[in-house]
Amino acid sequence: MEYEILKYQYANKDIDVIVMQNMHIKVVVSSLGCTIISIFTNDKYGNNDDVILGFDELDTYLQQDKYIGAIVGRCAGRIKNATFTLNEKEYHLAKNNAGNTLHGGNVGFNQKIFTYAMLEDGIDFHYLSKDGEENFPGNLDVHIKYRLVDNTLIAEYVATTDADTIVNLTNHMYFNLQGKGSVLDHELMIDASNIICSDADGCANGVLQDVSNTPFDFRKSKRVGKDIDEENEQLAIGSGYDHYYVFDRSERAVVLKDPISGRVMEVSTNQKGCQLYTANFLDGKLKGKKNWYFKAREALCIETQAAPNAIHTEVEPSTILLKGNTYQATTVYEFKIEGGEVD
Ligand code: GAL
């Protein structure tokens, strides 16, 4: 792997950008929020293009609230009523989303500067989230590694704590395998027989819904846009897909294809599911790379993670990390070309 480090300063913050490249893919990441700025892959015609949304100017990452390309934490997704109880103690978090806490609170991991060390095949980011940060308990020591292995990008998350806490980490990349335009003609397969329903605020409520005979069924690959505008209470809540899918199996749990470019992305993970989000809240106001003003449904996120709001909905919440235990999550994104090899 070859790499180059570029150094910038914005709003008194030193932000590094690392360009990593092997024979198959080029990935650009930033020390601000471990943000993945770009992933360049070839299409079936040999054109090389960027398959995720991002910005030319680093300071746009400091101003936007759409978590584009960033790590979200300490706890991804919405926590109902911005409070939770752990070991009989009640914690109050920031109400940054309709009375609930979204993606870690007012200043989530997406806005933190990570230190890092280069590895032979990638980068190892580190951040210490202090006890009480955003009112979460425990000093949480977080390592996030991005590694390039052939045509795969591997994201590895490891966290330890010195007091019981909750943690749920993911990456919030917005994919568009064509590198432009709508994502509704992409084909998507999600190996999941159930979603978790959302309440009126978009908080996962723990109620499982079988996807059979609903617009949520992606077990057989189908166009993202095929059923997205069907009349359906859950789709109405999210203004599209914005729901947690519970995987049946985790190998090739998600496959996203763009028939036009021939690009295919396969996602495998040890996480139990993913939030599928069809970028419903992008409103054309954010100016991205290539003068692209991002609109709703021009990308989609596959946020592999534990169930959002698990602390309120699971009997033994999977997001609790006990002192002495280690949180370990891995997600592998493999980039292929239908009918060919990535080269
Ligand atoms: C997603 C979430 C959406 C929205 C988005 C950020 O993870 O499910 O509802 O908040 O992040 O704009």
- DSSP assignment of 185-232: TSEEEE-EEEEEEE-TTS-EEEEEEE-TTSTT--SS-EETTSSTTS--
Would you call 324 exposed, middle or buried from its count of C-beta atoms within 10 A (0-12, 13-18, 19+)? exposed
- In angstroms, rounded to a whole number, what is the distance separating the alpha carbons of residues 263 and 335? 7
- Provide the pLDDT for residue 342: 46
Mean pLDDT over residues 277-301, rounded? 97
Of 133, 298, 303, 334, the catalytic one is: 303
Distance CA 324, CA 88 (A): 19
Task: Identify the pLDDT of residue 206.
Answer: 98
Q: How far apart are CA 326 and CA 270, in angstroms?
A: 14
Report the chain's mean pLDDT, rounded to a whole number: 96
218-237 per-position pLDDT tens digit: 999 999 999 999 999 999 99
Ligand 1, CB within 6 Å, residue ranges: 66-67, 102, 202, 242, 275, 277, 281, 303
Distance (Å, whole) CA 279 – CA 319: 25
Q: Is 243 a catalytic residue?
A: no
The minimum-distance atom of ligand 1 relative to the CA of 67 is: 6
Q: What's the pLDDT band for 340 if we cut at 50, 70, 90?
A: low
Q: How far apart are CA 137 and CA 160, in angstroms?
A: 12
Which pLDDT score, from 0 to 100, does residue 106 have?
97
- As to burial, measured by CB atoms within 10 angstroms (0-12 exposed, 13-18 middle, 19+ buried), residue 63 is exposed
Residue-level pLDDT at 268: 97
Give distance in angstroms: CA of 200 to centre of ligand 1.
14
pLDDT of residue 343: 44
Residues 184-198, mean pLDDT to the nearest whole number: 98
Angle at 168 between CA 308 and CA 26, to 5 degrees: 110
Q: How confident is the model at residue 339 (pLDDT cuts 50, 70, 90)?
A: low
Residue 218 structure tokens: 């992606």
Task: Give the pTM.
Answer: 0.97
User: In angstroms, what is the span from residue 10 Cα to ligand 1's centroid?
Assistant: 26
How does residue 250 score in pLDDT terms, banded at 50, 70 and 90?
A: confident
Please say if the pLDDT value at position 96 is more than 70: yes
**Which one-letter DSSP state was computed for residue 114?**
P
Q: What is each CA distance from 182 to 111, 114, 218, 260, in whole angstroms?
A: 28, 33, 19, 12
